[in-house]
Amino acid sequence: MKLFTIKNKNGLIATISDYGGRIVNLLVPDKADHFDDIVLGFDNLNDYLTANEKYYGAIIGRYANRIKNAAFSIDNQKYLLDKNDGDNCLHGGDKGFHNILWNVNQLDDQKIELKYLFNDLNEGFPGNLDVKVIYSWSDKNELIIEYFATTDKTTVINLTHHSFFNLTGNPINTIDEHLLQIHADFFTPVNKNLIPTGELSNVAETPFDFRELTPIGKRVHTKNQQLVFGGGYDHNWVLKANSSKEKIQLAAKVIEPRSGRVMEVLTNEPGIQFYGGNFLDGNDIGKNNISYKFRTAFCLETQHFPDSPNNPDFPSTLLRKGENYHSICIYRFNHI
């Protein structure tokens, strides 16, 4: 495993591994200009390989989130995927993007490029998929992740990033007091296996209403069947529609009151998954010998909706020969 470092003029640093394209360290300042590492991770490869949680900091594909019954059809051709989440396929299967060594080229001090050619029927997905991911810092303290892909056969694709954030800089703290805002009026409810029902539910008067800044822990214990299914928050929010496919919009904002750190998430994707660390169980011992416990980190994963290949009413995730896939996620940092 090799590590690559990118840094902007303000001193913000991301350390990225060729294994899974993982962000291993992310150093950003607080309101006193003190830098802390705000992502969960490990100091050596073996710990990543043996971790209970498999996706720390990784690039996720070919299909982020879940696909029901690990199967879908294109033009009446059925494709069977890796069943790595009960009967479902999660995050592209066990040999997905998170679990390979990418080819990395450091373009300059602020930018790296990762490439990989995924073979036809890798983990069951059709098409030879040529993927490029670029991590870069702007001098506006934006960590920009851009995804590009082409295929030689019609396929489905849904890429995202899976860092676990704790803006206190110390994951012995829970995320309950982090203030979260998501610019969405609807979310996609799920069944007990966390597969979308196909409906869009209004967030109004539910624990899923984050249209205004709200402490993450304020309503997580509310009696609500969706929270029972997810063990807390583990759902896709439907972002307000873009007028243009490539238009980048503000999707979410998180404020950590004690440190003053602020993280904004911008994207051209139609959805964002907010995951509240419900499956962190204390068994993974990470950096600084800290045990990663229940709800001590969160993920905000820009994406198309889960199980879209089996839901024709959801935005399409089809990519055809001759088309260019482009997705962008920006994590922008500042402080109050």
Going by pLDDT thresholds of 50, 70 and 90, the confidence category of residue 245 is low
131 with 115: CB under 8 angstroms? Answer: yes
CATH, domain range 3-335: 2.70.98.10
Number of separate helices (H) and strands (E) present in the chain? 2, 26
Residue 244 clears pLDDT 60, i.e. is over it: no
Return the minimum-mean-pLDDT range out of 18-27, 132-141, 167-176, 234-243: 234-243
Q: Read out DSSP for 191-219?
A: -TTS-B-S--EE-TTSTT--SS-EETTSS
Domain ranges of the chain: 3-335
- Tokens found for residue 211: 């249209």
Contacts of 333 (CB under 8 A, 6+ apart): 12, 28, 141, 142, 143, 261, 262, 263, 264
pLDDT digits (tens, 9 = 90+) for 290-321: 999 999 999 999 999 999 999 999 999 999 99
Give me the active site residues, please: 162, 301
Q: What is the pLDDT of residues 152-180, one digit of tens each?
A: 999 999 999 999 999 999 999 999 999 99
* Alpha carbon distances (Å) from 314 to 101, 317, 318: 32, 9, 11
pLDDT value at residue 227: 98
Would the pLDDT of 243 be above 80? no
The band of 247, judged by pLDDT with boundaries at 50, 70 and 90, is: confident
Look-up of token digits 């892909």: 149
Sign of the dihedral through C-alpha 193, 194, 196, 201: positive
